[in-house]
Every structure is written in structure tokens, then in C-alpha cells.
Amino acid sequence: MKPLNAVYAGLPTTIFEEMSRRARETGAVNLGQGFPDDPGPADVREAAAKAVIEGWNQYPPMLGLPELRGAIAAHYARWQGLDLDPQREVMVTSGATEALAGALMALVEPGDEVVLFAPMYDAYLPLVRRAGGVPRVVTLAPPRFGLDEGALRDAISPRTKAALFCNPLNPTATIFSDADRALLARVCVENDLVAICDEVWEHVVFDGARHRPLIAEPGMRERTVKIGSAGKIFNLTGWKVGFVCAAPALLGALAKAHQFLTFTTPPNLQSAVAYGLAKEDAWFEAMRADLQRSRDRFCAGLADLGFAVIPAAGTYFVTVDLAGRDEDDVAFCRRLVTDHGVAAIPVSAFYPGGEVTNVVRFCFAKRDATLDAALARMRGV
Ligand code: GLN
């Protein structure tokens, strides 16, 4: 047989799947892959069940149900002050990962450079490469994980087509500052770049923070692809209902990729998400408050165990610094799952250049009993 595709041939199985598999096999408490152990809002699930029984179960429109596209535009107007045309600027995808893949397939020509920021979600690099793009990675330095203007500008050349930006950032649980967003926007405008923004954590922000989308920065309205995810908003990660918002010229190109990638997304889940996005503000505030309480409970427990906890401003995750231990993150996570029955994620999986090997990520979006059980198992680790 001829050689298989070189991008995929060299890749390991994604760390999230590997850790969840190990947790299932060993009965470990799974604080690795990011998903809540709460069943999610009952009314949203009931809306989906009702739509399965009473609603349309054939192909929905390719760009998404009109009711959901309208609900997305209304939701972003309410929460982020955006003015999006649901007919021409909003598309529904099968999860944010499809939206990202489609955006890269639609925008990148072989040889185009794409700026990425490390730490990065493990799908980004292979997706850029498979689209024929040449990754140019900018490393964000702890503890702020902010942008450095010089490093950003050094990564850009006349061949740069796009920058892929995740805010709030998984795995560091940091939110980019106003100055960082303004800088990135300026650099995109000056260099004629498209910003592909993974904003799936936009609603999961704590301590009174409010998400500010890059598309709202000066000059970005026509050059930003904003990606969101119902899975993260409603704590229903298996649903895989994503959204893409972009100006008509961009969205038209993205739709061409989407039509031959997944084409559509289950209509019943779409109508339940439309229902959910229209929920009152208090529901979203309570969801955040609940997760913030879990964060505080788990972080206090980690600190009691002697871990150096890195503050988490959003997402489902908190990271700890292993500095001072004579073990790297991969060895630590392997020992943690095998000897203590707790699965976590080594953050080196987010650094393709191997720059950081001393940070471990835990998912705290769990019931108190799950967090407490994990902490008890971690005693003496
Ligand atoms: N977004 C999830 C996380 O960061 C993982 C999703 C997946 O497993 N592909 O944990």
C-alpha cells in the first residue's frame, strides 16, 4: 500500500480520548476530558426529546434551522452587543471542531501561513496542516499567557493568511486582556489577516467577567470568524452543536466547506438549542455561579494538598504547576491515573514544541462528590 496521509500517520490518539479510555478501564475519577457529570438543563433536554418525537427528523436546511440562526443572532445581540444578520452571517455546524476544520479548509490555500498560539487545543495544528497551511506558532508565556507584540509580529510574513485565536483559553483558563485583543485586531488589520476565533468558552467566565468577542474590535467585523458551541453553554458536550458567525463574504466561503463536510446537524438538537439560547439572563448567571463554586471548592482542595494552583478565570479547567517535583506532567498523569485512580491532562499535549512540561489540567465541572472523591484519592500523590 502507498503511504497513508503523513499528517495523520504521525499523530497519537488525542489525549482526551486516551485519558477517558484509561479512566473507563480503571474506574478512575475522570477529571481529564472536559465534560460535566451533571445531566444538563432538564428543560433543554425535554425540548430536544419533544422535537425528536413531534418534530422534523429529516435534513434541516444546510445553514441551520432558521429558528436557531435567529436565536444565535438574538443571543449575541443580548450578551455581546453584536448586530448579526441571521440570514447571511450565521451558520450552524456539528460542533466547534467542524466549524474550525471548515474555516481552515475554506480559507487556507496550500503554503499559506497560519498563526497559532501555544498552548493550543490539540486539534488546531493537524487541522492547519491538513488544510495545507504552514503553522507559525507564537508561545504564550506563563503566568499571564498574554500576547507579546514583538513575538506576534515576528510570526507574520506576507504569506500569512489567518490567525487562530482561542479566548477564553483552554487549557490555561485565562481571558485575554482588552489590550491583547486590541493588539491582535490591529495586527490582523495591518496585515490583512482573517481571525478565526474559538470562543466556545465565552459563557464560562467567572468573578463577574464579561466576554468580549474579537469581532467587535475596530476593523474586525469583516475579517473575523467567530465560533461558539452549545455544548459548552448548556453543559451538554455530546450534542456537538456549534455556531459560526462571520460577514457574508466569509460565511459564504465557509458554507461551501460545511456543505461537503457534515452538511447539517441534527434538527431536534438545533431546536432545543434555539430554545435554550433564549433562556433568561438569570439561568446563564446561575450556570456560571455554579461552576465558579465548583472551581473554588476544588482549588481549595488542591491547595490543601500542597499543589501550586494557577488561577482560573473561566472554562471548566484549572491547572497546577508541578515545578519543584522531579516528575514531568506526562509521568505525573500516568502515575495519578494508575496508582491513585484520578485522570487529568498533561498540558504538554497543548504545546507542540514541548516548551512546557510541568503543568497539569483538571476539569472541575463536576458534582461536589466527584471532586471530593478525586481530592481524597490524590492525598499523598
Ligand atoms: N474540549 C475538551 C477538552 O478540552 C475535549 C474535547 C475532545 O475530547 N475532543 O477537554
Domains of the chain by start residue, with CATH: 6-40+282-377 (3.90.1150.10), 58-277 (3.40.640.10)
Ligand 1 atom 9 nearest Cα:
16
User: Percentage helix, strand, coil, to 5, in the chain?
Assistant: 45, 15, 40
Question: 195-216: per-residue pLDDT in tens?
Answer: 999 999 999 999 999 999 999 9
User: When comparing pLDDT for 128 and 141, which is higher?
Assistant: 128
pLDDT of residue 102: 98
pLDDT band at 143; cut points 50, 70, 90:
confident
Question: 164-184: per-residue pLDDT in tens?
Answer: 999 999 999 999 999 999 999
Ligand 1 atom 8 nearest Cα:
16
Ligand 1 atom 4 nearest Cα:
34
Give bridge partners of residue 245 from the DSSP assignment.
90, 226
Q: Average pLDDT for residues 121-144, to the nearest whole number?
A: 94
pLDDT of residue 82: 98
Q: Average pLDDT for residues 104-110, to the nearest whole number?
A: 98
CA of residue 14 to ligand 1 center, whole Å: 9
Pocket test for ligand 1, best of 16, 235, 236 (most atoms within 8 A of CB): 16
Total number of residues shown for the chain: 381
pLDDT of residue 68: 98
Question: 320-339: per-residue pLDDT in tens?
Answer: 999 889 999 999 999 999 99
| Pocket lining: 358 vs ligand 1, CB cutoff 6 Å | no
Contacts of 183 (CB under 8 A, 6+ apart): 147, 149, 152
Q: Average pLDDT for residues 107-126, to the nearest whole number?
A: 97
Residue 26 has pLDDT above 90, yes or no: yes
Share of the chain above pLDDT 90, in %: 97
pLDDT of residue 330: 95
Question: 185-194: per-residue pLDDT in tens?
Answer: 999 999 999 9
Grid look-up 481530592 returns 375
pLDDT band at 142; cut points 50, 70, 90:
confident
Q: Average pLDDT for residues 274-285, to the nearest whole number?
A: 98
CA of residue 96 to ligand 1 center, whole Å: 11
Q: Average pLDDT for residues 344-364, to the nearest whole number?
A: 95
Q: Average pLDDT for residues 6-31, to the nearest whole number?
A: 93
What is the C-alpha to C-alpha distance for residues 50 and 103, in angstroms, rounded to an integer?
32
pLDDT of residue 314: 98
Residue 36 has pLDDT above 90, yes or no: yes
CB-side neighbour CA atoms (13 Å) of 213: 28
pLDDT of residue 144: 87
C-alpha cell belonging to residue 279: 433562556
What is the C-alpha to C-alpha distance for residues 15 and 7, in angstroms, rounded to an integer?
17
pLDDT of residue 12: 87
Q: Average pLDDT for residues 31-35, to the nearest whole number?
A: 96
